[in-house]
Amino acid sequence: MKRRDFIIGTGAVALTAASYGNILGSNDKIGLAVVGAGRRGRWVLGEMLKTNQIRPVMFCDVWDEQVKRTTEYLELGKIPMTYDLEEVLSNDAVDAILLATPDHLHKNYAIRILAAGKHLLLEKPVTLHYNEGPMLKEAVANSGVVCQTGTQQRSGQMYQRVKEEFFGGSKKLGDMVFVRAVWSNFGWQRRQLQQRPMPKNFKWDTFLGPSQKMDYYWPRYDGWRHYKEYGTGILSDLLTHWGDVAQWMMDDTNPLDAVTTGGIYHLKDDRTNPDTVNTIIKYKAGWNFTFECSVMPVKNKHDSVLFHGTEGQLELFRAGYIYTPHKGEPVIFQNDENLTHAHVKNFFDAIKTGAQLTAPIDVGLNAVKPSHLAAASYWSGKRMQFSADQTDIVEVI
């Protein structure tokens, strides 16, 4: 195999000795391992298989039942499974890894994967805590391998076209006043779970990872998004996506401060993350971003990002957009592109041909900044901002 430079984002990345072994020809299939074989891992792997560019090599999970469900759903037959990430990292047949674990495991697992010279698709949010960002960025820079992050709108042709047509200097919307995002109705996070006996072949301590040690409790595993130790629920799972879209279109990844209100208004179980939130984030370029979300069955006509300008408005959602100028007739566009499929294809193209990644590590870290601010405001009850040196989140005085 020939050595080649990989272009990630806008700059060349020097390949480490370890990563040279992972350079593939255009017709070679990528040996892939899945770390975290639950619902999201299962879905993304399914789209990867449709590209006909991978060979599933190994699964790594804390529960063998998750792997069984995934292999049966995707009709994969017998694929080796391990509970130990080191077995994946030491396997020379593994070229790339899909990391789809709970959020609290992302940083430590990603750093180990990158140090081992394996290409990485890191699901969003890339970090659970804001201070993890510099460590992850350094790990990517030192690895020389491809690291794609999980904001799949970045690979969508419609989103790319909207960016060029409406936000590329055309001023079709006039001066932007504010941006509003809504996204609700999440049955999976609405579930109210009960304790059950620990399943056979389930590794509770491995699931806990770096979080606080505690006795086994099933809802914390099956409903990990309900608990702030493992994720920030709707403030990361959903705000990360729409915040990324807003920042991308507005060319502004500098949220100044945020105020969030909400609570556990409806689901009176022992969850700690809110079931309903509203947040307002102020940006450096002079615009406000509002985010409204509930796991409850509130059904919007479109779960969307709505851009309000002095000359018109644009409602952008995954299935299309509606452009409504102040003068003239509305323009409706329908979109049926599979964003996850487009995103994994871009990842594979970057591995094989050096194609530019649509969501390199800087995009992933910027995408989660508004979520970190919003969560900090929710938990503190204060308006929160980044510190002057951008290393911490502090109260606005």
| HEC-encoded secondary structure of the chain | CCCCCEEECCEEECCCHHHHCCCCCCCCCEEEEEECCCHHHHHHHHHHHHCCCEEEEEEECCEHHHHHHHHHHCCCCCCCEECCHHHHHCCCCCCEEEECCCHHHHHHHHHHHHHCCCEEEECCCCCCCHHHHHHHHHHHHHHCCCEEECCHHHHCHHHHHHHHHHHCCCCCCCCEEEEEEECCCCHHHHCCCCCCCCCCCECHHHHHCCCCCCCCCHHHHHCHHHCCCCCCCHHHHCHHHHHHHHHHHHCCCCEEEEEEEEECCCCCCCCCCCCEEEEEEEECCCEEEEEEEECCCCCCCCCEEEEEECCEEEEEECCEEEEEECCCCCEEEECCCCHHHHHHHHHHHHHHHCCCCCCCHHHHHHHHHHHHHHHHHHHHCCCEEECCCCCCEEECC
Per-residue pLDDT, 25? 61
Per-residue pLDDT, 168? 84
Residue-range domains of the chain with CATH: 25-153 (3.40.50.720), 157-334+361-395 (3.30.360.10)
What is the pLDDT of the chain when averaged over all its residues? 93
Per-residue pLDDT, 103? 98
> pLDDT under 70 in the chain at which residues?
1-26
Per-residue pLDDT, 33? 98
Per-residue pLDDT, 12? 31
Per-residue pLDDT, 138? 98
Q: pLDDT tens digits for 92-133?
A: 999 999 999 999 999 999 999 999 999 999 999 999 999 999
